Amino acid sequence: MIRLAVDLKGADRPQEELLPGVIRALQEDSSLYLYLLCDEKVISPLLSAAGADSERYEIIDSPDTVTNHDNPVEVLRKKPDSSLMKGISLCKSDPGISAFVSCGATGALFVSAIMVLGRIPHVTPALLCEIIKDDGARVCLSDCGANIDCGEDKLVTFARLAKVFMEARGRENPKIALLSNGSEDSKGNELVKKANALLRGEKGLNFIGNMEGTEVLSGEEDILVCEGFAGNILLKSLEGAAKSAVAHARKYAEALPEPARSVMLQDLHKVFLNYDYNSSGGAVLLGANTPIVKGHGSADADTLYAVLKIASDLGKNDLQQKILAEFA
């Protein structure tokens, strides 16, 4: 049985709109057991009405909600009854829970995860996300924004966390590239040059060298390692450029006769989503004592379903045990 803690509050949409994602996940995956952090009086009758098996979930009533306006550090003290804090506390008290899933406030989620759950010894937690390459394959960006300034040894940790993650996602011996301003080992800022040397010497990592921004979507890498600042610039530039190029192509689509018009518009939408990591299942914080799977704040029931599926798959693949073994 895979047990997940699921925060239904704090997202842009109300908990009852996200609930169908939970119901679908329970229906489709009989190995799932969910702890639902939500308002019991809102969610309980809806679950009963939907015929959900009450042996497969437990509602943990959480009257308070953390929002993006809350100071992440103050949340620990000020909002103990929030769905976020109750979920984190539950994971701390029960290490057998495979992951904490939330579409709520990112900053507060990660700060409380690290401060309350605690870190795996000698591991700096990293934020990982997947983007889709031209050939449809996923590439994992590690770190994509949690560690804005860090040393070269941290980049090796990010590489190893991503390696275990991608293996749990089904990729064998994943190819690891290091984001730089040129593909040669001699290229890069001081951090990247030192990280390149460390990665070249590291055992058990399939390091393929430095990679430029132009190559990310067409390259052979499974993992792209970078400091959070550079990762964030990369991710958001890709998103911005895809948005612009697709908007431009859209005007041609608008001029097409149906059904070509609808097909092209849907397809362009999909292209854009490829570069929007929020749509492709969210980001994952690894390195704390429970993995955190974060859906986008604008998530709907389908997004939550997709995020639950990822969290469940990671649980089935013993992700956290494998991380512990990697860093043992």
Query: Helix, strand, or coil here: 129?
Result: strand
Strand partners, 53: none
Q: How far is CA 251 from CA 263, 268, 269, 295, in A?
A: 14, 11, 13, 31
Q: How far is the CB of 115 from a copy of itself (least distance, A)?
A: 19
Q: How far is the CB of 75 from a copy of itself (least distance, A)?
A: 17
User: Which of residues 265 and 324 has its CB atom nearest to a copy of itself in the complex?
Assistant: 265
Least distance between a copy of itself and beta carbon 167 (Å): 26
Q: How far is the CB of 147 from a copy of itself (least distance, A)?
A: 10
What's the distance, CA 62 to chain centroid? 24
Distance of alpha carbon 126 from alpha carbon 302, whole angstroms = 26
Provide the b/e sequence for 64-76 (b: ≥16 CB within 10 Å).
Answer: bbbbeebebeebb
Closer CB to a copy of itself, 244 or 321, in the complex? 244
Other beta carbons within 10 Å of 310: 20
State the residues that interact with a copy of itself by CB under 8 A. Answer: 134, 145, 148-149, 179, 181, 188-190, 192, 212-218, 227-230, 232-249, 252-253, 255, 260, 264, 267-268, 271, 275
| 121 versus 136: smaller Cβ distance to a copy of itself | 136
Task: Name the residue among 128, 74, 134 with its Cα closest to residue 105.
Answer: 74
Q: Identify whether the C-beta of residue 90 lies closer than 8 Å to the C-beta of residue 60.
A: yes
Least distance to a copy of itself from the beta carbon of 40, Å? Answer: 36
Q: In angstroms, give the least distance from the CB of 78 to a copy of itself.
A: 20
